[in-house]
Amino acid sequence: MINYIIRRILYAIPILIGVNLLTFALFFVVNTPDNMARIHLGVKHVTPEAIAKWKHERGYDKPLMWNGAAQGAKQVSDTIFFEKSVGMFAFDFGRSDEGRDIAHDIKTRMWPSLAIALPVFMVGLAINITFAMLMAFFRATYIDFSGVVLCVAMMSISGLFYIIGGQYLVSKLLHLTPISGFDAGSNALKFIILPVVIGVIGGIGSGARWYRTIFLEETGRDYVRTARAKGLSELSVLFSHVLKNAMIPILTGAVVVIPLLFMGSLISESFFGIPGLGSYTIDAINAQDFAIVRAMVFLGSVLYIIGLILTDISYTLVDPRIRLE
Amino acid sequence: MLFNPVFLWTDMLLWLLLVSVAFYIWRVRQREHLLQPWRRLLRSRSGVASAVVLLAFVAVGVFDSLHFRLPLEKQGNGAETHYSPEVLSVFDLMVGPLRKQVEKTYSAPFAVQLYTKETIELPGGKQVRDYPRLKYGGAHLREPVREQAGDIAVTALQGGVYAFFLCGGLTVALALWLARRRGISPGEAWTMIRHGRDEIPWRTLLTTIGLLILFGCLATVFSAKYHIFGTDKVGQDVFYLSLKSIRTGLMIGTLTTLVMLPFALLLGIMAGYFRGWVDDVIQYTYTTLSSIPGVLLIAAAVLILQVYMDNNQELFDTVAARADLRLLFLCVILGITSWTGLCRLLRGETLKVREMEFIQAATAFGVGHFRIIARHILPNVMHIVLISIVLDFSALVLAEAVLSYVGVGVDPSMQSWGNMINGARLEMAREPMVWWSLLAAFVFMFVLVLSANLFSDRVRDAFDPRVR
């Protein structure tokens, strides 16, 4: 098992290099640093000196991938690609184009993101599974049918509608929670409730429907028939047999997103004014701050790969038949 | 020339798509085994109802994809004709007055007055601050307060009567056609339709078409007199904007999968068929791509396109061409992020199919790799392609709105539901609230996505061999 994990982590390195190459191609080859400098300094009336200064301050004045003027190993290392990528691998994200320390920003903004994303994930998972079990219990009745119809309808509503509608109803009409904002410590609770509730509601449609399919697939298996033949009640079949066996497909979808919770939610964070990583990214996109977007892309890929490894490990915990070799 | 046709990239791709759909239909009609799943689809009620609604949306999108520019007034005799920089579509001509009846700023649905107060000069020279009357909405009413309710009722009745006659005609035509085809009397055919005794759910079909006709008739008669969904900040009719957004939504939903389909098919099948190092390389490619968070990749790519466009503005002769290229690029980049899922599925299925006996037989007969892939593997994985096209559609339509909100969606000059929501969001805090463009965008999106979801469920039931 340890060997397997080590191998998986080693396997992640070429993927991360690939991610870096790709973002590098996107950010530096398609758009030369000169273009970026012009965008940041304003398109008109920019002197070449100003551009050179801007590039030098941010380390963009080196050759892209191959430094012909340097000697030996420096031919590779004294380039933009090498300097920017190696830093990433050490999780040293450098400074944003505005001059702020990205690593520090990420560290402080991670917690508000988690404060929203973690409850949404946990509560959402519990509620979705409960609804799906209910529908599976009453399968092929009107309760099941109307549940599915409700799920499809809820899936078809834009996520933006839940947010805007929820803000309007709860905050503006009923004055139950503030419309947006964030506070430190326990004061944060009143700001967190609404985004969490809306996040959970927005996910019920697709989640409950997906888990229902999984449960129904399991209820068709032989072991379920055996359990019923033994005289077990439908409820205990569902809870002690089907639920356990359905954990594998459920874990596939759920565990992979756990590390990504750090990234927060782009949309709801910016609607609710929560200073997390999601709104950080959106602000960076709107301000065209390439350094931050690049750092977030790298961080996202790392977390995704961690999620994949965690999924594999969780399989062995849930199903002893699976051995990681 | 009366007009100057404009060939936008997305238009041409859409027409290409329609031609290939027509070719597919022609092919399917000749082959019973391909026809079978479609028959199954047409026998389910939700399948038929959602297909009708989707077709109505597609019709609007198709008419909106024939673009041209009208000539400007000639400067003198023999002078060269210059064409207006505004790119219009056939759909714009069909809804003529909707496009041209522009008010000054916001007005509520069915309103006769503007949303904001203005200084109005009375005939006597006195000035008052009041809500001015709209230029077009309810302009035919002398005393709106007294007359409006009656006028709305009369107009609704008028629309209802039109719809009633259209639906009635349609029902009679269907009954006569069925009677001829099945060799029964028209009366029997009517009973069959009413009680739903045929394999094809005619009753559901008629009800859905009837509802669409009713909505269409009401919208037609009302929008001649009022702005049924109000007007937006610059006074454009919101109903018109919502209809125009249909094309954008459809383009994002269909072209995205289409653009990347050849790559996904080729790479997925190659990985599964050849295995070995080919498989390793392809797997590495899609793992790398899918490990980048989708929204960020899209944001990065669109940002870069924007910088490129700002630096090369001379490449685009009209605003529409510029917006169109951005739409196409958005489709490509969305395709790159969603392509990996399809590729993985195709690889898995090919791995399974290639071990089957008929492939072994083909190999034993000395059939080449290319022929095996084209003749034996491709037809056996096509159901996955079809299912994933339909499944992705609704998610993509919803994604457009979110991306436009983040600022990396379609061009701000292009009508889309995302842009409508984004524009209306800023007015949420106003009192009274400007809710109509938000609601119109959400309702249109909901109807399209709901029918797409229902349709995709039926497609999956009909085509997925595991579901049977």
Q: Dump the DSSP string for B180-208.
A: HHHT--HHHHHHHHHHT-SSS-HHHHHHH
Task: Find chain A residues with C-beta within 8 A of B295's C-beta.
Answer: 266
Q: Which of A55, A78, A56 is nearest to A67 (CA)?
A: A78
Instruction: Please write the tens of the pLDDT for every residue from B132-174.
Output: 777 777 777 777 777 788 888 888 999 899 999 999 999 899 8
Instruction: Please write the tens of the pLDDT for every residue from A66-112.
Output: 777 766 666 666 777 777 777 777 777 777 777 778 888 888 888 88
Q: Tokens for B401?
A: 């709105």
Model pLDDT, residue B119: 79
What is the least distance, in Å, from the CA of B274 to any CA of chain A? 22
Model pLDDT, residue B79: 60
Model pLDDT, residue A49: 79
Task: Find chain B residues with C-beta within 8 A of A304's C-beta.
Answer: 290-293
CATH number for B238-463 (one of 3.30.70.100, 3.30.40.230, 1.10.3720.10, 1.10.3470.10): it is: 1.10.3720.10
Q: Distance (Å, rounded) from C-alpha B313 to C-alpha B307? A: 10
Instruction: Please write the tens of the pLDDT for every residue from B354-367.
Output: 888 999 999 999 99
pLDDT at B41 exceeding the cut of 60:
yes
CB contact under 8 A, B406 and A282: yes
Task: Compute the half-sphere exposure of residue B105: CA atoms within 13 Å on the CB side of its CA.
Answer: 10
Residue A296, chain B, CB below 8 Å: the answer is yes
Helical ranges in B43-143 per DSSP H: 45-63, 90-94, 96-100
Model pLDDT, residue B26: 93
What mean pLDDT is predicted for residues B188-216?
Answer: 86
Q: Which of B174, B201, B205 is nearest to B190 (CA)?
A: B174
Contacts A–B by Cβ distance under 8 A: 120
3-class secondary structure, B43:
coil
Measured between alpha carbons, how far is residue A2 from residues A6, A309, B308 in Å? 6, 12, 47
ipTM of predicted complex: 0.83
Give B410's pLDDT tier (boundaries 50, 70, 90).
Answer: confident
Give B444's pLDDT tier (boundaries 50, 70, 90).
Answer: very high
Model pLDDT, residue B3: 78
Query: CB neighbours of A221 closer than 8 A, spacing ≥ 6?
Result: A245
Q: Distance (Å, rounded) from C-alpha B421 to C-alpha B397? A: 14
Task: Find chain B residues with C-beta within 8 A of A300's C-beta.
Answer: 291-293, 296
Highest mean pLDDT among A2-16, B71-85, B113-127: A2-16
Q: Are A24 and A85 in contact (CB under 8 A)?
A: yes
Q: Distance (Å, rounded) from C-alpha B448 to C-alpha B249? A: 9
Q: Which residue has the higher pLDDT, B344 or A325?
A: B344
pLDDT at B52 exceeding the cut of 90:
yes
Report the length, in residues, of chain B: 468
Model pLDDT, residue A150: 93
CB contact under 8 A, B454 and A36: no
Question: How many other C-beta atoms can be found within 10 angstroms of the C-beta atom of residue A3?
Answer: 9
Q: Which residue has the higher pLDDT, B197 or A174?
A: A174
What is the least distance, in Å, from the CA of A75 to any CA of chain B? 27
Task: Find chain B residues with C-beta within 8 A of A46's C-beta.
Answer: none
Helix (H) or strand (E) holding B5: strand B4-6
Q: Are B248 and B410 in contact (CB under 8 A)?
A: yes
CA of B438: which chain A residue's CA is closest? A161
Q: Are A228 and A219 in contact (CB under 8 A)?
A: no
CB contact under 8 A, B311 and A35: yes
Task: Find chain A residues with C-beta within 8 A of B450's C-beta.
Answer: 152-153, 156
pLDDT at B78 exceeding the cut of 90:
no
pLDDT at B466 exceeding the cut of 70:
no
> DSSP state, B147?
H
Q: What are B's interface residues with A at a Cβ cutoff of 8 A?
A: 284-285, 287-293, 295-297, 299-301, 303-304, 307-308, 310-311, 394, 398, 401-402, 405-408, 417, 421, 425, 428, 433, 438, 442, 445-446, 449-450, 453-454, 457
pLDDT at B461 exceeding the cut of 90:
no
Phi and psi at B67, nearest 5°, equal -105, 150
Q: Are B62 and B17 in contact (CB under 8 A)?
A: no
Residue A280, chain B, CB below 8 Å: the answer is no
The residues of chain A scoring below 70 in pLDDT are 29-31, 42-45, 65, 70-77, 324-325
Highest mean pLDDT among A202-211, A254-263, B109-118, B299-308: A202-211
Model pLDDT, residue A33: 73
Mean pLDDT of chain B, nearest integer: 85
pLDDT at B93 exceeding the cut of 70:
yes
Query: CB neighbours of B120 closer than 8 A, spacing ≥ 6?
Result: B127, B128, B129, B130, B132
3-class secondary structure, A175:
coil
What mean pLDDT is predicted for residues B210-217?
Answer: 92
Residue A35, chain B, CB below 8 Å: the answer is yes
- Distance from the first to the final alpha carbon of chain B: 57
Measured between alpha carbons, how far is residue B311 from residues A32, A45, B391 in Å? 11, 14, 38
CB contact under 8 A, B299 and A161: no
The residues with which B133 forms a beta bridge, in sequence order, are B113
Tell me which residue has tokens 């065209």. Answer: A288
What residue spans define the domains of chain B?
Answer: 238-463
